Structure 1
Amino acid sequence: MRMNMNNPVLVKEVKLRFRSLKSFTGILFYLIAMSIFVFGFIFLTTAFTGTGFFRPEESFFLFGLLTFIQLGLILFITPGLTAGTISTEREKQTLNILLTTSQSSMQIILGKLSSSIAFLVLMLIAGLPIYSLVFLFGGISPGQLGLIFLFFFLTMLTVGSIGVMFSTITRKTIVSMIATYGTMIFLAGVTAFFFMITIQVNMLGSGVTQSPSPLAHFWASINPGILIFSLLNPMTEDFVNEATKIDFPVWAGYTIFYVLLAASAITISIKKLRVNMKKQK
């Protein structure tokens, strides 16, 4: 922990990112867009009902919309922040200088990754006052909000680690971004498609008595959208367990897979950082 706190790469990256006018301009426009969406939703809901009241079930629906907007934000912005961390240094021909310093490969990789994650965490924290509006109307518990933000952080960490990994093993930023976004499309969309296909194949092959389908449960467990649905509505997890005949929490499978994926991506990045440097020579 002391090594991470004294990481010069992290200090430099944080200063550059948080002193940039573009960073805070982006946060400003993000908060303005979120505020317009929330207040517009409340206004339209109360206007169409004609009662002037905002019911708890409507507050829960608004919370669900905000949650999926945040998830889309994480999946869309995180690759853009991390997919060029190392490849940009290589394209600017500054990676050689960075590698000749006393900083280890772990310090460089973790410094680059941590600065990007810190900016995303700042965006989530900045949006908390908007999220807090739903508590005024009921329907949401603070524990539910905390649990969702915890899985947001795990998703950010994993997606960021994948972006840094591709940025390390590829020489071009555009290639790294395409690979990272492709991975996000697979995790967020293709896994849901595979889940539905696997369920249908299992039902057709099993006949009257449906057999357990671990593969279908795996596809459901690694999909961020299904996880958020299960956290917002426990009936979603019951549906997944019933469809796959596997009684295992979706959040547990998601946590295990994404922690292992993040650890593997970081390990590969650390091991390949100086290997690529030697190949360039």
Structure 2
Amino acid sequence: MKMSINKSNLRINPVLLKELRVKMRGWKAPILIGIYNLVLVLLTVLFLKVLIGQRSMNAENIFTTYCLMAVAQFGLISLIAPALTAGAISGEREKQTLDILLSTTLKHRSIILGKLAASLSHIVLLVLSSIPVFSIIFMFGGIGMSELLQTFLFYIVLAITLGSIGLFFSTFIKKSTAANVLSYATIVFLFIGTIIITVFYIQLVIQPKLVSTSYNKTFWLMYLNPAASFVSLLVNQFGESGQSIFPGLYISGGSSPIWIINIVVDLVLSGVLLTACAYKLNPVRKKFSIDKKYDELHVDEEKAENQK
């Protein structure tokens, strides 16, 4: 008995396929990957040169080097991911090709997911291409493959979340410039605004109520902060050594580490944003809206004629 394979299930998203063919044939993607890894290599060489100059490669120095490399890649992904998606839909609108895309048989969800996947493919390439750079730390030991996989998983979820934020504003804002500005403003709020609000709230509201103890719990707003969650991940990987590297920044998430909770929150947030994008882009919803306005206008015309 021969098994029949449904070829439609094996088809790649047409939007993703088109974006990959257009972007990967040019020089932009290779140049981006080259510059990205060049920055990582230069920073890594600088870190190692400073530590080797001290003539002491103990466990703490190895962890410090790994942390600096991980933080550098975290910062680069945070800068690049929103820029790849903030002009995905608004750019189609500015080029007057969005209506053509909506007139195809593609579902609105496929368009949104295809745009997101095309942008995230660049991030995946950047992360995978950085593995040889991170493998330098294996020469000194102390860092295992499990820690590296945890870090890279966090990078992918971070890219999905920041990419969803950029895609959300790109769908609801007509201009790519405005979508970029709002995307980065939202990300700055997640990174810095949540910390400022947390510090002020704890110091002005919670701490005065505590008489002889200090507040040592994780404030709920910090679960939305990718930077705090990333610090929690590094501290969780290093244990006591991590606490010495991040003095005063130990974040306790209770029974579950804060970075795991943040991954769940980010995935839920991404799902909500992508659903909103699909709803906004839905041609059927627009058709119903136009038909409703037409019916209301037709009723108003009939009332005017009856009054005459």
Task: Give the RMSD, CA atoms, in angstroms.
Answer: 2.6
Matches of 1:257 and 1:188, distance apart in 2: 15
Matches of 1:14 and 1:64, distance apart in 2: 32
Note the alpha carbon deviations across 1:37-61, whole angstroms, 9 max, x for none. Answer: 21232223222x2x3x533322211
Q: 1:11 aligned to 2:17?
A: yes
Q: 1:59 aligned to 2:62?
A: yes
1:3 deviates by 5.5
**1:67-86 superposed matches below 5 A:** 67-86=70-89
How many percent identity over aligned positions? 32
Structure 1 runs not aligned, ≥5 long: none
Distance 1:89 1:183, change over 3 A: same
Q: 1:144 aligned to 2:155?
A: no
Q: 1:101 aligned to 2:104?
A: yes
The residue that corresponds to 2:176 in the other structure is 173
The residue that corresponds to 2:251 in the other structure is 240
Matches of 1:70 and 1:238, distance apart in 2: 20
2:232·2:251 contact (CA, 8 Å) conserved in 1? no
Matches of 1:177 and 1:80, distance apart in 2: 7
1:4·1:107 contact (CA, 8 Å) conserved in 2? no
Name the SS of the counterpart of 2:182 in structure 1: helix
> How many residue pairs are counted as aligned between the two chains?
273
2:124 to 111, 121, 124: 121
Q: Which amino acid aligns with 1:167?
A: S
The residue that corresponds to 2:50 in the other structure is 44
TM-score by length of 1: 0.88
Q: 1:205 aligned to 2:236?
A: no
TM-score by length of 2: 0.81
The residue that corresponds to 1:35 in the other structure is 41
1:75·1:159 contact (CA, 8 Å) conserved in 2? yes
Query: Which moved further from structure 2: 118-127 or 140-149?
Result: 140-149
The residue that corresponds to 2:274 in the other structure is 266
| Higher Cα radius of gyration | 2
Distance 1:100 1:59, change over 3 A: same
The residue that corresponds to 2:115 in the other structure is 112
Q: Which amino acid aligns with 1:222?
A: L
1:157 to 157, 160, 165: 160
Distance 1:269 1:39, change over 3 A: same
1:212 deviates by 8.8
The residue that corresponds to 2:230 in the other structure is 228
Q: Which amino acid aligns with 1:252?
A: I
Q: Which amino acid aligns with 1:46?
A: I
Q: Which amino acid aligns with 1:9?
A: V
Name the SS of the counterpart of 1:6 in structure 2: coil
The residue that corresponds to 1:195 in the other structure is 198
1:8 deviates by 1.0
